[in-house]
Copies of this chain bind each other. A is one copy, B any other.
C-alpha cells in the first residue's frame, strides 16, 4: 500500500494545515479565489490544470469548509465557489508565502507580482512576529511546547 500518509491526526497544527492546504494546486486555487475567481471555468483557465484534478481539489476544499458553493452571482443556474471565513483566514499564510518567494525565489530583475494596499496602492509591510509584550521576535526566539489547556 502506498497511500499518501495522513497527518490529519497529528497534534502539530502545522501538520494539520499542510494536510488541508499543503498542496500546490490547492493553494493556487485559494490564491485565485482571493483574487476574485469563483467559477470552475475561471479556475481552470487561470491555472491550466486538468479538469479532473481541479474537480477533486474543489471538492476537497468544499468538504473541508474552506470553500462553499453558492448560487452564481450572475444569476445563471451555475454555482460559485466562494471562500468561507476559514478560507479567508488563509490570507496571512498566502502573504507569508508570497514574501518569502519574493525574497528567495526570484533573481533580481525577474518579472513578478507584488501585493499592494487597495487604499493607496503602496506595497504592504513585511510580516513581523511579535511577543505578547510587543517585542519583535526572530527565528530562534520561539519554541514549541505541548498545550496545557
Counting CB contacts under 8 A, is A22 at the interface?
yes
B142 pairs with A118, CB closer than 8 A: yes
Counting CB contacts under 8 A, is A143 at the interface?
yes
Residues of B within 8 A of A147 (CB): 111-114
Counting CB contacts under 8 A, is A89 at the interface?
yes
Residues of B within 8 A of A105 (CB): 13, 16-17, 19-20
A133–B130 alpha-carbon span in the complex (Å): 18
Residues of B within 8 A of A129 (CB): 91-92, 95, 124-125, 127
Residues of B within 8 A of A86 (CB): 104
14 A-B residue pairs with Cβ-Cβ distance under 8 Å, sorted by A, are A5-B24, A13-B105, A13-B106, A13-B113, A16-B106, A17-B98, A18-B97, A22-B23, A89-B103, A89-B104, A92-B129, A118-B141, A118-B143, A122-B133
